[in-house]
A and B are shown apart, each in its own frame.
Chain A
Amino acid sequence: MTTAASVLPPCLDAFPGVVLILSGEGMVTASNGRAERELGGPVAGRAFGELVDADSSREKWRRMLARARDTEAAVSAELILTSDGELLDPRPFTLLPDRCTGEFWLVEHPRDARLDLLRDEATGVNSELANTQRTLVKEQRRLRRALAELERSNHALDEFAHAISHDLKAPLRAIGNYATWLREDLAGAESPASPASHAHLQRLDEQVRRMRALIDGAIAYARAGRADAGAEDVDVGALARDIVALLDPPASADIRLLDLPTIRSPRAPLQQVLQNLVDNAIKHAGGRPVRVTVDAEDAGEFVALRVADDGPGIPEAQHERIWGLFNTLQPSADPSTSTGIGLALVRRLAEAQGGRASVASEAGHGATFTVLWPKRSGEPTHGN
């Protein structure tokens, strides 16, 4: 126990941390050279308190020194050293009182620099995470606002469609009624009406029917893909048979249903799509013999439903136009039922399900309509 004050063994020069001997008053009397290197100047003869950051650590240092002096026991604390106004990172030190000399050893705890690096990295990652979280929250709020806006505009559209449907159909109903009464009046009149008058009344009825079909079609188009009932297992073959029975095709139409799968889909839009396509093929034949074939092909997540006919076909220049609303290819044989909405509705319904509708045709060589319909609609798809 005869350590000479103010002299450090040379082997401590290699110690990976600051080692100082301080007088009882806290003046530096010896150093292993580390503090000089890190602070960039001599430390011997200076009060150690001057090397400590004024605001945060000096008071802490005073308490540390006083406690070691009072208790004659080792005291540990983290201190921030300062050099030319630059603050070093906080470092842990232990102050060891030497009872024989009344001096103190101040020893820095050697640290693993990689742990400091790790800590800084963790702090950086934490900060980036905080940024990302806020960005995410802001985006979510923006999406919520957009969704609310969309719901508002959908609601307005629903109201609009309802008003249109109601307000346009009411006068139409009245017109139909007046036509009926007029016919009754003519039948009861003393002088019989001319055949031309009867024909005019007939046209009037047809136009009323056509107008009603247009309104219904437009409303169906506006509402397509919204508020669908849930998906169910649909046997497409059985559905197609029901459709054919419902359409009650003329003898000139030969309708063949090939192998059709069972898929998971809302029933109503699928029925509408197939019905419109088959109906379209029959009408487009204009009463001439036509063969309509309905079949299906696997297309990954989709099933490709095909309705092919050997009717007059569609000139290529018209292939895009036919999908437009109120676009009819030619004056129909029966204007009261041809609205120009059927194919527009097919495409809209298919797209609402995440699918597509397309046509392949050559004038004079029939047409094949293909609808890509999801095998499992209303459920998340994988892989894209």
Chain B
Amino acid sequence: MSADGMPDMAAVYDAYLAAVRRGERRTAFAVVDDASRAGLPLGDIYVHVFQPTLREIGRLWQHNEISVADEHLATAITQAAMARVYSQAMVADAEAAHTLLAACADTERHEVGLRMLCDLLECEGWDARYLGAAVPIESLVAMVREQRPDVVALSTALPAHLPRLRAMVAAVREVDGNGARPPLILVGGRPFVEDPGLADTVGADLTAPDAMHAVTLLREQFRRSA
């Protein structure tokens, strides 16, 4: 515990990472349940526990200390842990101020970042909907046409999927807004972390290195436009 009665974030992170590395789902859940009960907000758990854990898992793979199977397990446990924290989180009860649609250009393995973004935005009072991984472009276009979101967030972890992402951006741009303001297009994922200039290349408006930065960026955008 820290001086203000809140659990020590670093200790929560250490305990969570250790549980995930051992593949102990229930222990990992208990760690986040305790933190959540002790009043640690969803945003803090996401940004200071889940995000660094997944980064560390990636680093451990690079250093040949764990296998892809371990990485999968860590991702699966974290997906489930996120759902737990999300279901306990205090979400603004008012009518949503802004809407976001999210889609991942890759398979489900790489969707955690977008899910984090959606959950964090929900806590800020947004209506954020994650459509899924490998969403067909025509489905994405149909949803954009129907829902008229303020923001469309797209991600890829693989440079090989950049052409597909570019096609998704172009298709969203072509949706006739019928006078409504066209959605801002936000892109993210490893290729954009390594080269933020790629966002321009694929035709997007914004990019952010992680979910929390994306939330900050959107908050500024919509404060300005409000």
Contact = CB atoms under 8 A, between A and B. Distances in A.
Given A77-B64, A86-B160, A131 B132 contact: yes
Interface in B104-157: 107-109, 111, 115, 118-119, 130, 132-133
Interface stretch (B10-18, B47-55, B72-80): B72-80
Interface string B60-87: 0111100111001001100110110011
Interface string A119-135: 11011101101110110
Contacts of B108: 123-124, 126-127
A130 B130 CA distance: 10
A123 B109 contact: yes
A127 B132 contact: yes
B68 A78 contact: yes
A56 interface: yes
Interface in A61-100: 63-64, 77-78, 85-87, 89-90, 92
Contacts of A131: 130, 132
Contact of A127 (B67, B79, B159): B79
Interface string B160-199: 1000000000000000000000000000001000100000
B76 A126 contact: yes
A119 B75 CA distance: 12
B46 to A, nearest CB: 14
Interface residues of A, number: 30
Interface in B75-104: 75-76, 79-80, 82-83, 86-87, 91, 93
A145 interface: yes
Interface residues of B, number: 33
Contacts of A129: 79-80, 83
A190 interface: no
Contacts of B30: none
B62 A120 contact: no
B83 A127 contact: no
Contact of A123 (B67, B76, B158, B190): B76
A141 interface: yes
B160 A133 contact: no
A134 B158 CA distance: 26
Contact of A141 (B61, B62, B72, B93): B93
Contacts of B158: 87
A78 B109 contact: no
Shortest beta-carbon contacts, A-B, top 5: A127-B108, A133-B83, A77-B64, A90-B68, A137-B87
16 contacts: A59-B62, A60-B64, A77-B64, A78-B68, A90-B68, A92-B67, A119-B69, A122-B72, A123-B75, A126-B76, A126-B108, A129-B83, A130-B115, A134-B83, A137-B86, A141-B91
Interface of A: 55-56, 59-60, 63-64, 77-78, 85-87, 89-90, 92, 119-120, 122-124, 126-127, 129-131, 133-134, 136-137, 141, 145
